[in-house]
Structure 1
């Protein structure tokens, strides 16, 4: 065994660029001979740090250089990227291979599902996979901290734990008991266990035979026992050294000791709580496990300095002091409170914050050679900043990547699974068919034309489920939609043929996951071709799907198709797709992990709101906080301390900008505890980036607010229609602009896709039932109820609508049948239903379709309109509106309906609404005695003709402007409100 030397321990303060300082120092120490650096080994925390060190060596060498071997050993993701440096191929007793992460995830999901079934609390496959992910993380923490799972059986929990935590602990214990057997069956071990074994073997090997070159462990903050032992070993090698980032060697000893971890009191057994949220806690824990003292650390000698910020580093350390020691702020010297070089920008919204950051990055480019980087844990903010920068044709890569679930390849797979699960409901189907990857290329335009034609015919309530439901919907169009549906029907077979295979599989119910994935893959390939699997996102989706198919047999035995989409989304959320290199050379966007060891002339720290930076600790659904503490596992809040250390390191740049938004997407936001501490420490010296805030607001500020005027278009006479329906007369008089948009501009509002059945839909359905009853059943009272029941039994009728509407509808239907029978007994006769008619009047053609016209016992006509809602009021009639019945009577009197002649004297609304204790009642806008200020029956058609003639003379044959919302009290419809920009002028025009 080699003789141990004095530990070689160093730290690089935050005000010096870590990578540059480390590279310069190593070149100075070992670059004197040609192969001095090449024989060395540098252990780093993650793969991003390897890239940062490579760039730093290039900058420091200013030419060709043989680099040392760079190995990442402390990646929090436990990636097995150590290679031959830690796992030599000639090892006589090799460490068993690790179980692939996805295989372990699926096995644990199966165990979770089986145990939940056993205790009578079954979960679907998607939830089992989610719980397995949390279980994997908890198991990894046990392995990393070298806590034997058997200790769970030894805990004395007393009666303090709730039943929920006891059940979770029992389930966790059972799964841990079964897991070793699964590993033994596979001949593998856990990845965290394998890394720990490799690190232990490496430390033992180096103690016996130190490597020929130097070994430097740099920037590692992982405090796992195996890592700590290796770093202690490295520090004692003849040419070994440990270099930490921003170790607080100048912190007061009392503060340092207060951080913990604390041993139990020998008398009371009480353990003081460690301050895991402090930025130095994880470093102190690492030093304790290494068995070294911070006084043994020296400041690293090398380049990478901006020493002017050293005083700022002391101020930041004071700002982040433990709560019990913040009282010293009032007695600090001015230089220990000054945050020179740090500016703060507080914006109104996340959109403004992204705009401000993009402006700050853009400004940096005005100075040649100057660099800037955004550091934020908020990936949404990062994407917004990149989008803003793209407006100036500046491409900035987000090195933290984006989850596969929001990238096109991921969203296509999710959309396909959801569409098949929902049996191709309109919204899910159209989302799939219009996806940008579907039919990508030359066939895309024709495909979109077909998809849009299908979109137009799927507006309104959904058709029957499944592809067959779409077939029936297209095959049986109403007269008014026959042409439109014919276009969609001509294209639909192409799409249907591609979707039929996956429908057949998903309709088979619960089945092995591999079968569902195969159907998904084959259909996705048919829809998109190889485009789906191209690019970084496509390759990630292909690899995930291939791995998942390979490991499907390890997971739950049977999977419901409805679980596939959420299962995929859970897994894709955890796959970060990083862009290829090629972004702007002087600008960067980093996540917190990617930003470690990085630096720039200007570091922008974005998203400093509580819940974002620091983020909310992810709960552990398996082990209660007290159990974690008893086992010695890291507290859930330890990541807050790590993020505080990341913040302190980034603030060491020559210039720093911190930003936050005063609200998030839905509610006011609370400033980060780090922001508040810096603000409280600096007081009046807390510098605000006022200019940047003003520029951000000014960039999109229109200057003078000029709201739109109330529109009143006045088209020439040749464009004014000479034909009008009775249903449009009220629209013409109350809201002429809406009439103009509908009849002259020919703009028709579209119903939402997959809309809930509206009042208009209910009215159309009732009218259809009554029309069929009259035409096919000759108004026989006993035939009406079966007609209504058949409509309600239609698959297209929403179950909720059927349940809520059927009782009242059937009572109203029975009332109509009874009224028809009562009228027939009194000599009243139904003449016709749903007939179109027209007359020429005042230079235009008036058209109208009645619901029903009866012949009264005295020979006169009665015009009936069915209402599923509230009938018009007499006040509206007196004001010259709601004259539809009068105009229909006018057409009838003037012979506008074939075969119907006579004087119209009856005008009735048959409402299916509720009155008193029953559904269904009759009201009329006329009264023989003029009671209730109603119109006399003999005057009603003349009154309607008078008001109609006035309207025609003003807007159709005259030159009156089509003013928006002329009489808003009689214009409740809002289809054209957005077009007329109503909210900008309404209330100002009076």
Structure 2
């Protein structure tokens, strides 16, 4: 017999122990002197696949021999002898069934919840069902809870919760959790009828789930059954265990689950034995952590028991505390410590529930070509196929804007067959064209036209293939879920296929195979009568993809593992790093429960937020007791200052309050070790710091200086000469955004086109003219503005000024002789040509020439016109010099700035011969100044405001110098 004392039997291993190895060591010590084959009669139920691998490895490290039967606590649900061959509904299938019911409920009562939350609501309800099954809570218990004080909330949620009742009936197909519980009960019943004589052990589980706790109770009652739990605190006094009787208040304590387990088994703390009789790796550390985590009602014991802890410097010698300024610094310091561990030949485990942080650490480790073994893998939704499928789903049924189209084309899976090279080349050419010329919504007709003028032989088939995909995306329509999935898959495969015949790399490698499996399961489980809008389908696809994981088959560095918080019990590493110790992260903030509040959960016997915190606290207690441990916390996240985890706060407060034991000095030493890592990580990641650049004023040779500028560029030459140098000497043209932002520049460009098109054929009747103006506005806005909201706003503004604008035009009389035409005048003595494209040139009734410039903002003031805004003044000079052949030379010219706004403000002036001569002379002096070799093109010479950004500020290294710094003229080739 392996166990000679009567059951139930409960054993434990202390926090910090390498649970798999010590489990195996304790088992083999009990098997000494017995035939080797007796080990094969032992059955061990383990809590996870990783634990089973570690236990098997621990046996193999002992040399050749028999292995016990290693089973998982979830395996009974797959045993046909226990389940009667009943097939369980898959988790996704159950969620889709719930989604159908929620869809019908929202159709009948649309105010209950937003439709885009359809899948999230189904997922949440499925989670509630799993929890109810695990904790053996029947649906009718929901009818018996006290709803006083929250009847209105319950009246809404009761409609949703009532949907799950039908899945608990005897005729309902069971889900995975329901089948597991039924199978576990069947296994326990078989044991009661015919108890096995061989040893049966449940190891590694804390009994936090009701079904697992049932299995533990059943095994503990067997003649040769035992339960071995990880992280049992043997240092906790009896009086503290008694305090845990107040379950509601103490469920957040790390040992509370074991208190409940002992109650279920009818045991006391003194009945729990150490499985292998060995002490924890660091007994002094264990006592320190145990005292720090005492329940709140007995933390006064810090004062009484703290001095008995002895030298805290020795207890914390293997502890490091990283208090990073932000998550990036935290990740870099952790990565550096992991690299040190590899150099020293240590095995290392990073434990954290913060997946963003672990991804940052993985990226930082790539600096040294280290790829850790991440137990969680990569979320499918963050993999290339996941992102690609999300982009396609969100695009379905819409005309894609230029940036959305480019996002699809630049994805690594687009056109991923052998034609990927030409595809990237043409994508770049298309992007440059779209940035310069548009349109806002590229479609198949545009692509065919663009390909027709492109000299690349691959352009035509490429544009045809892409055009068909865009047409298919735009033509997608709401329908049954199976049809939407088929459309989604077909469009994604067509874009990945490109001009080839296969699906490219769409379903290749581990990520592609995982994505194909998820899409295939979704198609197989999709109900035929489930109709969805395209927006609802995109939200559902996001929800389904977010549940998938990609686990790489590429060998990782086994010396570094990344584990979730619940896997602390299987760490067994020389170095353990506990990262993300921030309140709201570890422990995690309780997720919002749309169905039941805390009081309802308590009445029903479901998990409370405090219980989840207690389980997280147990994970922390096990991990922090490792031989060498690093605790890390970022003082600030992307949004605000953070609060250290409550357990980290307790530990540091206890140390700081025991200066007599060297606690304060020990805490400072822990921080000093962390600061060393932060400093070294900052030095490793610090960018090279070249000397600051001076304010540039390049002096290029006269032969390459511009001899031709436009009217608008003259103001640029006055305000920011460096921009003229960059554009005309360096020939660097500013690149417009793929989707122009709804700023003043775009509004000006769009609203300038309206009068131009309108004046070409303006009806004489005011009402007809206003209608024509608005019709033209709608056409231009629809073509050039990608944002429906901005189209509505700008249309409203044009509607307000339409009547005054038409009335003003009719009142002015005269005739328009030119609009948006380009003209030039050459100043032979300067060797310079001035070009311009006035918005409008009129001949008034009196025969005077009038030049109009439209403004969507404020027209320039008189002082601004005097010093900088010379556009219309120079246009008048061009008229005086005969640059406009339609009207001939004029000695008197009227100029007018017309503000296209509700008040239709006009700033006008008349320039006579003397005024025109002065403007011309000033212009000659300006051009002559820049024909001096000693004159440089200074950056930001006289900008409108210091906050105004220029197109070439980055090139000029603005920011390394201030606007008050003197320029540094420099001869350039």
Q: Same fold by TM (over 0.5)? A: yes
Gaps of 5+ in 2: 497-502, 657-663, 967-973
Distance (Å, rounded) in 2 between the aligned partners of 1:832 and 1:228: 87
Determine the structure 1 residue equivalent to 2:19.
18
Distance (Å, rounded) in 2 between the aligned partners of 1:287 and 1:462: 72
- Among 874, 885, 888, the alignment partner of 1:898 is 885
Q: CA deviation at 1:418?
A: 0.7
- Among 327, 345, 354, the alignment partner of 1:350 is 327
Distance (Å, rounded) in 2 between the aligned partners of 1:490 and 1:729: 45
Distance (Å, rounded) in 1 between the aligned partners of 2:243 and 2:397: 56
Distance (Å, rounded) in 2 between the aligned partners of 1:191 and 1:499: 41
> Secondary structure of the residue that 1:587 maps to in structure 2?
strand
Q: Tell me if structure 1 keeps the 8 A contact 2:80–2:86.
A: no
Determine the structure 1 residue equivalent to 2:826.
840
After superposition, what is the alpha-carbon deviation per residue over 1:632-651, rounded to whole angstroms, capped at 9, x for unaligned? Answer: 11212311111111111111
- Among 76, 91, 103, the alignment partner of 1:101 is 91
> Secondary structure of the residue that 2:201 maps to in structure 1?
strand
Q: CA deviation at 1:593?
A: 2.7
Determine the structure 1 residue equivalent to 2:488.
520
Determine the structure 2 residue equivalent to 1:184.
171
Q: CA deviation at 1:557?
A: 2.2
Determine the structure 2 residue equivalent to 1:942.
917
Determine the structure 2 residue equivalent to 1:849.
837
Q: CA deviation at 1:18?
A: 1.1
Determine the structure 2 residue equivalent to 1:453.
429
Matched, 1:874 2:862: yes
> Secondary structure of the residue that 1:36 maps to in structure 2?
helix
Q: Tell me if structure 1 keeps the 8 A contact 2:422–2:458.
A: no
Distance (Å, rounded) in 2 between the aligned partners of 1:802 and 1:233: 69
> Secondary structure of the residue that 1:37 maps to in structure 2?
helix
User: For residues 863 and 207 of structure 1, do their structure 2 counterparts lie closer, same or farther at Cα, with a shift above 3 Å needed?
Assistant: same
- Among 797, 807, 814, the alignment partner of 1:818 is 807
Q: CA deviation at 1:120?
A: 4.7
TM-score (norm 1): 0.88
Q: CA deviation at 1:888?
A: 1.3
TM-score (norm 2): 0.90
User: For residues 545 and 476 of structure 1, do their structure 2 counterparts lie closer, same or farther at Cα, with a shift above 3 Å needed?
Assistant: closer
After superposition, what is the alpha-carbon deviation per residue over 1:509-543, rounded to whole angstroms, capped at 9, x for unaligned? Answer: 3x110000001112222222152222222222111
> Secondary structure of the residue that 1:835 maps to in structure 2?
coil
Q: Tell me if structure 1 keeps the 8 A contact 2:876–2:895.
A: no
- Among 472, 476, 495, the alignment partner of 1:501 is 472
**Root-mean-square deviation (CA), in Å?**
3.1
Deviates more, 1:936-945 or 1:714-723: 936-945
Q: CA deviation at 1:419?
A: 1.2
Q: CA deviation at 1:334?
A: 5.3
Equivalent residue runs for 1:570-719 within 5 Å: 570-580=543-553, 582-683=555-656, 684=664, 685-686=666-667, 687-688=670-671, 689-701=674-686, 706-719=691-704
- Among 741, 753, 757, the alignment partner of 1:768 is 753
Distance (Å, rounded) in 2 between the aligned partners of 1:292 and 1:578: 42
Distance (Å, rounded) in 2 between the aligned partners of 1:973 and 1:223: 58
- Among 409, 412, 418, the alignment partner of 1:433 is 409
Gaps of 5+ in 1: 74-79, 263-272, 928-935
Distance (Å, rounded) in 2 between the aligned partners of 1:499 and 1:961: 50
After superposition, what is the alpha-carbon deviation per residue over 1:390-416, rounded to whole angstroms, capped at 9, x for unaligned? Answer: 111111132122221111111111100
Q: CA deviation at 1:250?
A: 3.1
Distance (Å, rounded) in 2 between the aligned partners of 1:734 and 1:885: 17
Q: Tell me if structure 1 keeps the 8 A contact 2:409–2:427.
A: yes
Distance (Å, rounded) in 2 between the aligned partners of 1:778 and 1:97: 75
Q: Tell me if structure 2 keeps the 8 A contact 1:39–1:212.
A: no
Q: CA deviation at 1:302?
A: 6.6
Give the length in aligned residue pairs: 933
After superposition, what is the alpha-carbon deviation per residue over 1:137-188, rounded to whole angstroms, capped at 9, x for unaligned? Answer: 111111111122222222343x22241133213431x21333346x726xx3
> Secondary structure of the residue that 2:898 maps to in structure 1?
strand
User: For residues 489 and 532 of structure 1, do their structure 2 counterparts lie closer, same or farther at Cα, with a shift above 3 Å needed?
Assistant: closer
- Among 396, 404, 408, the alignment partner of 1:420 is 396
User: For residues 495 and 735 of structure 1, do their structure 2 counterparts lie closer, same or farther at Cα, with a shift above 3 Å needed?
Assistant: same
User: For residues 312 and 836 of structure 1, do their structure 2 counterparts lie closer, same or farther at Cα, with a shift above 3 Å needed?
Assistant: same
User: For residues 224 and 892 of structure 1, do their structure 2 counterparts lie closer, same or farther at Cα, with a shift above 3 Å needed?
Assistant: closer
Q: Tell me if structure 1 keeps the 8 A contact 2:851–2:893.
A: yes
- Among 714, 718, 725, the alignment partner of 1:733 is 718
Determine the structure 1 residue equivalent to 2:969.
none
Q: Tell me if structure 2 keeps the 8 A contact 1:10–1:297.
A: yes
User: For residues 909 and 951 of structure 1, do their structure 2 counterparts lie closer, same or farther at Cα, with a shift above 3 Å needed?
Assistant: same
User: For residues 27 and 985 of structure 1, do their structure 2 counterparts lie closer, same or farther at Cα, with a shift above 3 Å needed?
Assistant: same
Q: Tell me if structure 2 keeps the 8 A contact 1:769–1:787.
A: no
After superposition, what is the alpha-carbon deviation per residue over 1:673-716, rounded to whole angstroms, capped at 9, x for unaligned? Answer: 11111110111132212211221222234587843321222222
Determine the structure 1 residue equivalent to 2:798.
809
Q: Tell me if structure 1 keeps the 8 A contact 2:95–2:119.
A: yes
Q: CA deviation at 1:743?
A: 2.0
Q: CA deviation at 1:345?
A: 0.6
Distance (Å, rounded) in 2 between the aligned partners of 1:973 and 1:592: 47
Q: Tell me if structure 2 keeps the 8 A contact 1:401–1:579.
A: yes
Q: CA deviation at 1:595?
A: 3.3
Matched, 1:71 2:71: yes
User: For residues 778 and 785 of structure 1, do their structure 2 counterparts lie closer, same or farther at Cα, with a shift above 3 Å needed?
Assistant: closer
Determine the structure 1 residue equivalent to 2:242.
257
Matched, 1:161 2:150: yes
Distance (Å, rounded) in 1 between the aligned partners of 2:677 and 2:365: 15
Distance (Å, rounded) in 1 between the aligned partners of 2:899 and 2:592: 54
Q: Tell me if structure 1 keeps the 8 A contact 2:54–2:570.
A: yes
Distance (Å, rounded) in 2 between the aligned partners of 1:463 and 1:484: 20
Deviates more, 1:490-499 or 1:717-726: 490-499
Matched, 1:137 2:112: no
Q: CA deviation at 1:771?
A: 2.7
Distance (Å, rounded) in 1 between the aligned partners of 2:554 and 2:206: 27
Distance (Å, rounded) in 1 between the aligned partners of 2:127 and 2:800: 60
Equivalent residue runs for 1:177-326 within 5 Å: 177-180=165-168, 184=171, 188-211=173-196, 213-260=198-245, 262=247, 273-301=248-276, 307=281, 309-326=282-299
- Among 708, 732, 737, the alignment partner of 1:723 is 708
User: For residues 66 and 430 of structure 1, do their structure 2 counterparts lie closer, same or farther at Cα, with a shift above 3 Å needed?
Assistant: farther
Distance (Å, rounded) in 2 between the aligned partners of 1:261 and 1:461: 72
Equivalent residue runs for 1:358-373 within 5 Å: 358-368=335-345, 370-373=346-349
Distance (Å, rounded) in 2 between the aligned partners of 1:792 and 1:327: 76
Distance (Å, rounded) in 2 between the aligned partners of 1:180 and 1:82: 20
Determine the structure 1 residue equivalent to 2:906.
922
